[in-house]
């Protein structure tokens, strides 16, 4: 089955803005990495870019269970070789360096990595900060069991964040990391609120997501089924503040990732969730839309194909898989 047909066959739903619940939106464009026909819209009120219509939660759950890893990273089970080829270690080093001013290496603290994948970040954090006790959660069983071995901990929960909250009685954490996960979440503010409930009062949250307005983003390869939200600095900041966090530090440069990314370190604030006045102007939204269209649709697909270490490999894999 061709990717377009696979995507067409998924049950979909129309949605209000995932940040501000506005129903006023406009189409930014149709197109994505695999030629599935994904539509990206922009909220007229807060400027969020997201997929609409999007596959239903049920369809996405099934997708993540059976197709996500093979589509997206072309592996079903991680290996040391896979980790070495990817940007994972460089990414983990960046996170450890970013958090260094906030954690001393001897601190007896608890860290949770949400969406810990192969466990590279957990392993790196426990090596850099020997006092940290590490936990992870990962929905994919192959990745979760690999992470246990690789990071050397049995504290890896296999399942979603919601299941983790429902099934276990987790203690509160001093640090939570969530890298390249929030852009997959249908209710990003709610996800951050869940994390807030898992954090100590003075706890720290490190969040990293792709930045679609980065000048280095070139071509529709940056748009794909799993990323239902396309954040840029303003909407990323809005999302974090809406969940009642204050931003302590913001990172726009030097993040190693397949897609140019941004990150923030945030703390729970006194502010009540959702009580946040949008401070984005119509001009700012229009400027962001223009930049998005230039980044995503302004270059030939060929340029997108050759732009990153694994893009060509993934494209070939998908082509073989579906032809
Ligand atoms: Zn909105």
User: How confident is the model over 60-72, as a mean pLDDT?
Assistant: 71
Average pLDDT over residues 130-145: 93
Mean pLDDT calculated for residue range 196-223: 93
Residue 1 has pLDDT above 70, yes or no: no
DSSP string, 108-168: --EEEEET-TTSHHHHHHHHH-TTPEEEEEES-HHHHHHHHHHHT-S-EEES-HHHHHHH-
Q: Is the pLDDT of residue 322 over 90?
A: no
Tokens of 308: 């990153």
Structure confidence by residue, pLDDT tens digits, 94-137: 999 999 999 987 778 999 999 999 999 999 999 999 999 999 99
25 Cα to the center of ligand 1, angstroms: 8
- CA 261–ligand 1 middle distance (angstroms): 21
Query: If you ran DSSP here, which 8-state letter would residue 4 be given?
Result: H
Higher pLDDT, 179 or 85: 179
Is it the case that residue 261 has pLDDT exceeding 60?
A: yes
Mean pLDDT of the chain: 88
Kindly give the distance from the C-alpha atom of residue 48 to the centroid of ligand 1, in angstroms, as a whole number.
5
Distance (Å) from CA 239 to ligand 1 centroid: 10
Residue 123 CA to ligand 1 center (angstroms) comes to 37
**Ligand 1 mean position, distance from CA 26 (Å):** 11
Question: Is the model's pLDDT at 309 over the cut of 80?
Answer: no
Q: Once rounded to an integer, what is the mean pLDDT over residues 197-215?
A: 95
Q: How far is the CA of 20 from the centre of ligand 1 (A)?
A: 4
Using the mean position of ligand 1's atoms as its centre, give its distance from the Cα of residue 135 in Å.
Answer: 33
**C-alpha 21 to ligand 1 mean position (Å):** 6
Q: Beta 39-43 vs 199-210: how paired, if at all?
A: unpaired
Report the separation in Å between the CA atom of 30 and the middle of ligand 1, taken as the mean of its atom positions. 19
Q: What is the pLDDT of residues 277-295, one digit of tens each?
A: 788 999 999 999 999 999 9
């Amino acid at each position: 089955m061709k990717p377009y047909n696979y995507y067409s066959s998924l049950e979909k739903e129309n949605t209000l803005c995932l940040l501000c619940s506005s129903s006023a939106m406009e189409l930014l464009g149709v197109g994505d990495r695999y030629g599935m026909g994904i539509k990206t819209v922009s909220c007229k009120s807060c400027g969020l870019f997201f997929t609409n219509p999007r596959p239903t939660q049920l369809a996405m759950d099934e997708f993540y269970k059976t197709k996500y890893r093979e589509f997206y990273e072309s592996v079903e089970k991680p290996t040391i070789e896979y980790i070495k080829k990817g940007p994972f270690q460089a990414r983990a080093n960046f996170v450890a360096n970013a958090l260094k001013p906030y954690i001393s290496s001897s601190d007896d603290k608890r860290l949770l990595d949400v969406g810990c994948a192969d466990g590279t970040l957990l392993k790196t954090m426990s090596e850099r900060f020997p006092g940290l006790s590490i936990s992870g959660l990962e929905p994919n069983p192959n990745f979760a069991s690999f992470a246990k071995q690789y990071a050397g901990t049995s504290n890896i929960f296999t399942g979603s964040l919601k299941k983790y909250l429902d099934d276990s009685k987790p203690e509160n954490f001093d640090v939570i990391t969530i890298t390249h996960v929030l852009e997959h979440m249908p209710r990003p503010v709610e996800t951050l609120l869940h994390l807030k409930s898992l954090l100590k009062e003075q706890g720290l949250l490190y969040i990293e997501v792709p930045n679609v307005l980065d000048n280095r983003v070139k071509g529709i390869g940056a748009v794909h089924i799993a990323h239902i939200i396309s954040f840029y600095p303003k909407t990323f900041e809005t999302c974090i503040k809406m969940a009642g966090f204050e931003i302590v530090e913001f990172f726009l440069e030097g993040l190693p990732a397949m897609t140019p990314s941004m990150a923030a370190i945030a703390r729970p604030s006194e502010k009540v969730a959702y009580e946040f006045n949008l401070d984005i102007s119509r001009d700012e939204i229009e400027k962001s839309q223009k930049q998005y269209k230039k980044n995503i649709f302004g270059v030939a697909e060929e340029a997108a194909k050759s732009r990153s270490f694994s893009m060509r490999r993934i494209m070939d894999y998908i082509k073989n898989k579906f032809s």
